[in-house]
Amino acid sequence: MTKGTVTRDEAAGTAAPVLEMRDVDVWLPARGGSLFSHDKVQALTGANLSVAAGETVGVVGESGCGKSTLARVIIGLQVPTAGSVLLDGTDLTKMSGRERRKAVGSKVGMIFQDSSTALNRRMPIRMILRDPLDVHRRGTPRERDERVRELMALVGLPPSVADALPSQLSGGQRQRVAIARALALDPTVVVADEPTSALDVSVRAQILNLMLELKDRLGLAMVFVSHDIQTVRRMSDRIVTMYLGRIVEETPAEAVADRTRHPYTRALLSATPSLLHETTPIQLSGSVPSAVHPPSGCPFRTRCWRATDQCATAMPEPTREKDLESHVYRCYHPVFNESDLESANLQETM
């Protein structure tokens, strides 16, 4: 049931996307509003995203920037207010609810943030892994049992845990179960939403290495969501930066340290510096604006050290790097060199 291996170089976006989001908007009712309030949260605005077979696209940003909403749209838990979502060329938004659940359930795997709440506490591991196979009636009962054993071996779980309950496993083992369950139906796309944030530091590297190994071995397309841009760099081929429900930059992972143009991506990089790239931390002023009443123009302008009056007029149009076609950013005053960061450092000392 495994797929052919696709390397990172081969997955550089030359093939037709297996997943595509086109101009997706998600507007949600505002929490805490009055009974007669019509306020809406702009959770996603004009989101465009494509993922090719064998490619990992990382999605990064602070809490509340729209990462989890984007993930929920992909896995069918959130229906877009506008726009379309294509899976293997089929528009999910034009399907009935039943058709969409069947298509997404069989083609999209999901790895949730906290395996302790994502796994049924009353079911043994054997049944947790077999459940998707039973629901979608994959193979005979004997073949399903064999698939469960195959999945456990795939993620490095010993046969002895098959009859254990999730509470009897360590956090790392539970996350391996969650990964195995996401792979049970040989999905076209796997969505991983902060898959290691609930784990101990000593276990995170093991799980990340496992995910990289499985992605390369099975040729998976993956959307990897995290607030940690250094982890996303390690896991991804391309990185998408989100701020207040908008995608503000899309960068090849190998170019993030040296070629990012958007001030917000630069700030994220400085917040989690790597050992290989020395950087001065950029302290952003103020807090993330309200998604109910976002700023006009560029949503980042209220915290950006390079903002001018122009930034309030309209959201910048996408700009594509001349010598790097896969690098796109939306900014009137992009960062091109270290001198463009001087005012940010000055802002920090004031």
| Each residue's pLDDT tens digit, 263-297 | 999 999 988 765 555 667 787 877 888 888 899 99
Mean pLDDT in the chain?
88
Per the model's pLDDT, the better-predicted residue between 101 and 338 turns out to be: 101
By C-alpha distance, which of 133, 131, 213, 212 is closest to 166?
131
| Each residue's pLDDT tens digit, 119-134 | 999 999 999 999 999 9
Burial of 96 (0-12, 13-18, 19+ CB in 10 A): exposed
Q: Summarize the confidence of residues 330-347 as an average pLDDT.
A: 76
Supply 59's token pair: 């999605």
CA 66 from centroid of its chain's CA atoms = 10
What is the DSSP-derived secondary structure letter of residue 254?
A: G
